Structure 1
Amino acid sequence: MTLSQALLPSTSLPTRIAMILAGSLFIALSAQASVPMFPVPMTLQTLAISIVGLAFGARLAAATLIAYLVEGAMGLPVFADGKAGAMALIGPTGGYLWGFVAMAWMTGWMVERGFDRGLFRLFIAALIPAALLFVPGVAMLQVVTGMSVGKAIVLGATPFLLGGVVKAALAALVVAGGWSVLRKRG
């Protein structure tokens, strides 16, 4: 059982749609907390995606990220620094955007397979998918810009490694805290 299932046991379609929209709004807001860097900005998106994955489970988290990408492609200013449009999905940061879906799904999948409680397990469930996000992110950065793989790693991964660990820890703390509050209520 995920945290969201424990909090909202209803699995009705309106409930799931509301969760997807709330999750995509949370991610959109986190994208606006941005440190401008070239070519990939540093944002709080991966923190929000980890929280969504840890709390929602695989399918609902992936649906949330798909909704987020559709919202951005339709022109809503949900991407980092208020950017929008389908071109963002094929630009230098497109690999990260597409990878967000896999990151959310894998985080939720790990939670559904026993990484759902306990701070350390939640941290691992957030950290591994966040680390794997660099694969599509760096790959598309390299392909789109024509830079070497080494330079793409230096610009598209290295500056984000420590932050990724910190964000995974924060996401685990948030969700573990949610479970703690829920246990005290019940």
Structure 2
Amino acid sequence: MPDPLGQGGTEMGRDTTLLSATLGQESLWRKVFAVLAGSLLIAVAAQFSVPIGPVPLSLQTLAILTIGLTYGSRLGAITLLAYLAEGAAGLPVFSNGGAGIGYMMGPTGGFLIGFVATAWIAGLAADRGWTSNIAKTLPLALIAAVVLYIPGLLWPAAMLGTDWSALWSGWMAPFLTGDVIKAVLATLAVAGGWAVLKRR
């Protein structure tokens, strides 16, 4: 019977993520618990934010990268889809307690879509068994952090008619350094998790 929350049905996917190494044999219920716990972590991280222009600076990206690097691409993306579903259902999981379809259709809606891609791309490092190796993981974590801006900027450009100079100065430039730091921290955290696990 196929596992809807699996890692693509390969031994590599099951054996190379920090989540799998920690939990051991992953049952469907353990994966459901991991998805719910991950979505809760992201929701909590979203509440720690500093308003800078239209896009708040929060710990959310750090949590999303960490989830991807820990869970793998498929389960990481599913966790983010669960997070978005919780917000769409009215739970106050978005930044500053935001919730609902109206919030998701607002100026930052593109970033919400990009969260799924960010988790999936970061998770590719876990799928390949790279996350104990900082040098291999960090470039992919940085790419995952930057990819977030593609839908994040295309959305206000298309929906609000915001020009690209305003998007660069108000929506991207102030956050790039922070996102690089978050990618480094997520990479170090997961590599550190592997180091602790291997010492046990």
Is the 1:54–1:125 contact (alpha carbons within 8 Å) kept by the matching residues of 2?
no
Deviation at 1:123, TM superposition (A): 1.7
Q: CA deviation at 1:86?
A: 1.0
The reply to whether residue 15 of structure 1 matches residue 26 of structure 2 is no
Distance in 2 between the 1:109 and 1:88 partners? 30
**TM-score normalized with structure 2 length:** 0.89
Q: Which amino acid aligns with 1:108?
A: G
Task: Give distance in 2, aligned partners of 1:160 and 1:115.
Answer: 26
TM-score by length of 1: 0.96
Cα deviation 1:127-173 (Å, max 9, x = unaligned): 11111111110111222221102211221111110001100010011
Asked if the contact 1:89–1:98 (Cα under 8 Å) also holds between the matched residues in 2, the reply is no
Residue in structure 1 matching 2:116, options 82, 101, 108: 101
1:63 and 2:78 correspond? yes
Aligned residues: 185
2:125 to 85, 110, 126: 110
5-14 or 52-61: which moved more? 5-14
Offset from partner CA, 1:27-50 (integer Å, 9 cap, x none): 000000100122111111110000
Deviation digits for residues 41-93 of structure 1 (CA, Å, limit 9, x no counterpart)? 11111100000000000111001000000000111000001110112222110
Q: Does 1:44 align with 2:43?
A: no
Query: C-alpha root-mean-square deviation of aligned residues, in Å?
Result: 1.1
The structure 2 residue matched to 1:167, chosen from 139, 163, 182, is: 182
Q: Identity, % of aligned pairs? A: 49
The match for 2:10 is none
Deviates more, 1:174-183 or 1:152-161: 152-161
Residues in 2 aligned to 1:143 and 1:154: alpha-carbon distance in whole angstroms: 17
What is the aligned partner in structure 2 of residue 158 from structure 1?
Answer: 173
Question: Which runs of no fewer than 5 residues in structure 1 stay unpaired?
Answer: none
Task: Answer yes or no: is the 8 Å Cα contact 1:31–1:44 preserved in 2.
Answer: yes
Residue 114 (structure 1) shift: 4.6
Unaligned runs of 5+ in 2: 1-15
1:3-49 deviation line (CA, Å, top 9, x unaligned) = 00100122211100000000000000000010012211111111000
Other structure's SS at 1:146 match = coil
Say which of 108, 124, 133 aligns to 2:139: 124
CA contact (8 A) 2:132 2:195 kept: no
